[in-house]
Structure formats: structure tokens, C-alpha cells
């Protein structure tokens, strides 16, 4: 899978276990020039350290996806330094620990708003900012999970946010397709990431997937990165509005 000559933006890298990081690493190996973002000083050092291990030098920039002025500044800087964009990887998501652990009917208005804003609306904001830089067309990719379609324990408001995110994929695909911009998502099986650490009983979810998925195993970050690379590359240029499930086949099973 080649991304030689492509220029991309990856948001959502937190540490070496992040799916966004696995995708960034694979994209760099495939020949892409990257810009990576961090939110706050706490994560800046992690992102810079990881970026230093990439095969190609990367642009490191701050961005809080809940702040429109920071999104505007991000794309302005990318325009100045990179000139254009060929793809954007949206790996940003957040729900408060309380909203994940409490009964769903107890979700507060503010917790609901924050989860939908950061996890779903941010893709719309990024698509709007990226379009002027995608002069030759491009690809937008986000990350979702089966909890958007089915009720999973302790996923709660994040499941609702992911459902909105998947709807965003379809509506954005229809909106920007005439500009030769594609919009897709990868729905991966459960993986031990920083975000997963906030879900109570996550180890049980891993075991159930391993027992019931047709491949009788869990997926790995490298496999998610390969699926993402396909959708970002010209090999996937006929695919848009798609949610690609990479979960060892778990989604097809019943009892």
C-alpha cells in the first residue's frame, strides 16, 4: 500500500497504543508526509517523542477539536507549511468517566453535549477546514466502534456519539463527494488503548470477542492501520460513505 507523495493530518495520538498512532506510523512507512496534533502540554511530549521515531519528519501542532479557533489555526499553519492535504485521520473522542459508568438514563445534558461535540461534531469541523487544502481531492477517515449499532455494557453515551459519527460519515460523503473528497470510517474490534481503559469490564469484552468472533481472536492495532491505509490510499478511491468493520468478524455473529 503506497502513500508516496501524499500529505496527511492525524489527530488523536495519545501514546504508542493509540489507533491514531498506528495509522500515522503505517502512513509514514507508506511514504506520506504527516502533521500530528496534540491537545495540551500533557500530551505534547508523548506526540513529539513518537513523531521522532517515524521514518519521515513530521509537523507537530496543537489542536483542541472543541475549539473552532484552534481548528482554524491548525489548517492555516498546514496551508503555510505543507501547501495542501491529501488525507485527514480523525481519532478524537471523549466521554466523561461518570457518563460511561452511570446508567445511561442518568447522563447529564453537559456530558451528552461534550461527548457529541468532541467525538462526532469535530469530524464536521475538520472536514470544513480541510476542504480548501484538498485541491486535488482527498480522503477523510474516522474511527468508530460496534457500540454505535448495538448496546454494549458501560459504553453508554459514547455509543450514541459513535452513532452520530457514523451518520456524519454518510452525510459528509454525500456533501463533499463532488469535490472528489471521500469520507469513511474503520470500526475496529476492542483494543487496549488509553480510551478503552475508561470502560469498566473491558477485559471481559476482549474475552467475549475472542470466544465468539469467527477468527477466534482479537484484532491488533497493525491490522486496523492496514485497513486505514487502504481507505486513505488510491487503492480505496472508489470507496466512500463506508464503515469498514475490522473486528475479526464479531459483528456477524448472533448467539
Contact (Cβ atoms closer than 8 angstroms) between residue 141 and residue 85 = no
Query: What is the pLDDT tens value at each position of the chain, 255 positions in all?
Result: 799 999 999 999 999 999 999 999 999 999 999 999 999 888 899 999 999 999 888 999 999 999 999 999 999 999 999 999 999 999 999 999 999 989 999 999 999 999 999 999 999 999 999 999 999 999 999 999 999 999 988 999 999 999 999 999 999 999 999 999 999 999 999 987 766 666 667 788 888 899 999 999 999 999 999 999 999 999 999 999 999 999 999 999 987
Look at residue 196 in the predicted model and tell me its pLDDT. 65
Look at residue 205 in the predicted model and tell me its pLDDT. 82
Domain boundaries, position 230: 7-248
CA distance 127 to 141: 10
Is 254 within a domain?
no
Contact (Cβ atoms closer than 8 angstroms) between residue 9 and residue 37 = yes
- 24 CB neighbour count, 10 Å cutoff: 30
Look at residue 91 in the predicted model and tell me its pLDDT. 97
Cα atoms in the Cβ-side hemisphere of radius 13 Å centred on 25: 20
- Closest C-alpha to 210, from 198, 192, 193: 192
Specify the long-range contacts of residues 166-171, CB closer than 8 Å, at least 24 apart.
166/243, 168/120, 168/121, 168/123, 168/124, 168/142, 169/123, 169/142, 169/144, 169/241, 169/242, 169/243, 170/241
CA distance 52 to 23: 15
- Closest C-alpha to 162, from 205, 121, 192: 121
Is 152 within a domain?
yes
3-state secondary structure of 19: helix
CA distance 12 to 22: 11
Is 79 within a domain?
yes
Is 242 within a domain?
yes
Is 175 within a domain?
yes
CA distance 42 to 47: 10
Q: What letters, b where the CB count within 10 A reaches 16 and e where it falls short, cover 63-72?
A: bbbbeeeebe
Is 255 within a domain?
no
CA distance 101 to 136: 44
Is 100 within a domain?
yes
Is 1 within a domain?
no
- 122 forms bridges with which residues in the sheet? none
Contact (Cβ atoms closer than 8 angstroms) between residue 137 and residue 180 = yes
Q: Catalytic site residues?
A: 145, 155
Domain count, the chain: 1
CA distance 217 to 132: 42
Is the full-model pTM beyond 0.85? yes
- 89 forms bridges with which residues in the sheet? 10, 141
CATH of the domain at 190: 3.40.50.720
Amino acid at each position: 500500500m503506497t502513500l508516496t507523495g501524499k500529505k496527511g493530518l492525524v489527530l488523536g495520538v495519545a501514546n504508542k497504543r493509540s489507533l491514531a498512532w498506528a495509522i500515522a506510523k503505517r502512513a509514514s512507512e507508506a511514504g506520506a508526509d504527516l502533521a500530528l496534533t496534540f491537545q495540551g502540554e500533557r500530551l505534547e511530549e508523548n506526540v513529539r517523542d513518537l513523531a521522532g521515531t517515524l521514518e519521515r519528519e513530521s509537523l507537530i501542532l496543537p489542536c483542541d477539536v472543541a475549539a473552532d479557533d484552534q481548528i482554524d489555526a491548525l489548517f492555516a499553519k498546514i496551508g503555510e507549511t505543507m501547501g495542501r492535504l491529501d488525507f485527514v485521520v480523525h481519532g478524537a473522542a471523549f466521554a466523561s468517566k461518570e457518563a460511561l459508568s452511570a446508567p445511561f438514563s442518568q447522563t447529564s445534558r453537559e456530558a451528552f453535549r461534550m461527548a457529541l461535540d468532541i467525538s462526532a461534531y469535530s469530524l464536521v469541523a475538520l472536514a470544513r477546514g480541510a476542504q480548501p487544502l484538498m485541491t486535488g481531492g482527498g480522503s477523510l477517515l474516522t474511527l468508530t466502534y460496534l457500540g454505535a449499532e448495538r448496546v454494549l455494557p458501560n459504553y453508554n453515551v459514547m455509543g450514541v456519539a459513535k452513532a452520530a459519527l457514523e451518520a456524519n460519515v454518510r452525510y459528509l460523503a454525500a456533501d463533499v463527494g463532488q469535490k472528489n473528497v471521500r469520507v469513511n470510517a474503520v470500526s475496529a474490534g476492542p483494543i487496549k488503548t488509553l480510551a478503552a481503559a475508561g470502560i469498566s469490564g473491558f477485559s471481559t469484552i476482549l474475552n467475549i470477542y475472542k470466544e465468539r468472533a469467527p477468527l477466534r481472536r482479537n484484532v491488533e492495532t497493525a491490522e486496523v492501520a492496514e485497513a486505514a491505509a487502504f481507505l486513505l490510499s488510491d487503492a480505496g478511491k472508489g470507496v466512500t460513505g463506508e464503515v469498514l468493520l475490522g473486528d475479526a468478524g464479531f459483528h456477524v455473529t448472533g448467539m
